[in-house]
Amino acid sequence: MTEVAAIAVPRGQGLGSDARLRRRYAAERRFRLYGMGAIALAVLMLGVLLVSIVSKGYSAFVQTEIALDINFDPAVVDPDGKRDPEALANADYGKLVKTAVQSRFPDVGSREEKRKLNELISGGAQFQLRRMVAADPSLIGTTQRVWFTADDNFDMLNKGYMLRSGDEASRQLSDKQIAWFDALAADGRVRKAFNTTFFTAGDSREPEQAGVWGAVVGTILTMLVTLSMTLPVGVATAIYLEEFAPRNRWTDLIEVNINNLAAVPSIVYGLLGLAVFLGFFGLPRSAPLVGGMVLALIVLPTIIIAGRSALKAVPPSIREAALGVGASPLQVVFHHVLPLATPGILTGTIIGMAHALGESAPLLMIGMVAFIVDIPHGVTDPATVLPVQIFLWADSAERAFVERTSAAIMVLLAVLMAMNALAVILRRRFERRW
């Protein structure tokens, strides 16, 4: 008992009165505040970013449409009267549109004014009529009210982005054009409808006809190429380095180099792809195949590093247990270690793929920045990807591309979120099995 008394706290420095203790608690509170402050700042910035993108881009999901009474004049559509599909396809549907507009505003006389009047309707209107007639030839000879996509400038006017007053010469739309549009609106011939074109079309010089679908398909094809190249190679490398390779100078060298490669600027990989895949192997330009291969080079170090740390995290006792019952090293890896490391490997893969999804610089180098209207059908077709599409639209002059740029960013974020959700689902599944 005497020994215990000797080490007891001296009187006067009892519990709670200790200044050092108070300082410790104060430091703890301070640290917690720093942490909360950091998170608040991050959330604020994310919020500003999202609000800015959504507020600029949400209007791109609706499109102004204008209704016209189209007379499917047999003299224009089918002058021979044979209903020959070939002839129907080659008819001048643009004339039908022009006639309809001009009959609505009969007092417009001069050539210049008629040209301005025709600008009301998107240039895609004639193709819409051609599709209608091809689907239903009995329309010929009738008069129908048809909703057409408005030209992008009138779309902007309807959405309130166009100046209505001020110096007429510096405005996109003249006073007369605005008056025509307002007259149509007063007739109930103007409406806003869901912009399906944006989700189904490829790129276009006309904003009202431009869509992200081409870029989405290009992105999916590119990502598939990247995934199918990096996952097997990356996982095999990680397994070999972590489980089988002897620890010596060579493997140290390889490890250092893999870590360095993860930090190489992506444009350098783009130049490499340009020189090797296009220059030396002569693979097609602007193709998702080459884009995917270049992105695979960029993602590979990330997947290897993530895979190795996932394998390293599997407790050694599992390896010992499997070896102890006589499993061969390969069986140890494939029956026990790899399944346990799969969630970690998947997470690393998704992080790498998300990185690749947002990459644009290396793809510029291999020509995926080209203006491509058609939807790609395979990995060798010319294509573009979402980040490059955003870059192209952000660079375009038309006011209507501003909202489409933000809308495309939203689509990109949605694709990213879908990928992350997929990763979470896959992880859950793999984890539940154990």
Q: What residues line the site for another protein (CB under 8 A)? A: 246-247, 315, 317-328, 331, 335-336, 340, 434
Give how far Cα 412 sits from Cα of 215, 295, 403, 408, 417, Å: 10, 17, 14, 6, 9
Closer of 138 and 248 to another protein (Cβ): 248
Q: Which DSSP symbol is given to 389?
A: H
Least distance between another protein and beta carbon 328 (Å): 5
- Phi first, then psi, for residue 67 (nearest 5°) are -95, 135
Least distance between another protein and beta carbon 285 (Å): 49
Least distance between another protein and beta carbon 425 (Å): 20
Least distance between another protein and beta carbon 303 (Å): 24
Closer of 83 and 336 to another protein (Cβ): 336
Residue type, 82: K
Closer of 188 and 324 to another protein (Cβ): 324
CA distance 67 to 77: 20
Closer of 75 and 325 to another protein (Cβ): 325
Which residue spans within 61-118 are E strands per DSSP? 62-71
First to last CA, the chain: 54
Q: How many CB atoms lie within 10 A of CB 105?
A: 16
Closer of 330 and 422 to another protein (Cβ): 330
CB-based burial label for 109 (10 Å; 0-12, 13-18, 19+) = exposed
Least distance between another protein and beta carbon 13 (Å): 39
Q: Is 349 left (phi over 0), alpha (psi -120 to 50) or beta?
A: alpha
Note the helical H segments in 146-248: 152-158, 175-186, 196-200, 213-239
Paired tokens of 214: 């081409």
Closer of 92 and 320 to another protein (Cβ): 320
Least distance between another protein and beta carbon 315 (Å): 8
Closer of 28 and 320 to another protein (Cβ): 320
Q: Is residue 258 within 8 Å of 304, Cβ to Cβ?
A: yes
Paired tokens of 248: 């010596």
Closer of 171 and 319 to another protein (Cβ): 319
CA 271, 277, 282, 284 torsion: positive or negative? negative
Paired tokens of 68: 């016209």
Least distance between another protein and beta carbon 354 (Å): 28
Task: Return all residues near 352 (Cβ < 8 A) that are at least 6 apart.
Answer: 230, 299, 302, 303, 306
Least distance between another protein and beta carbon 342 (Å): 12
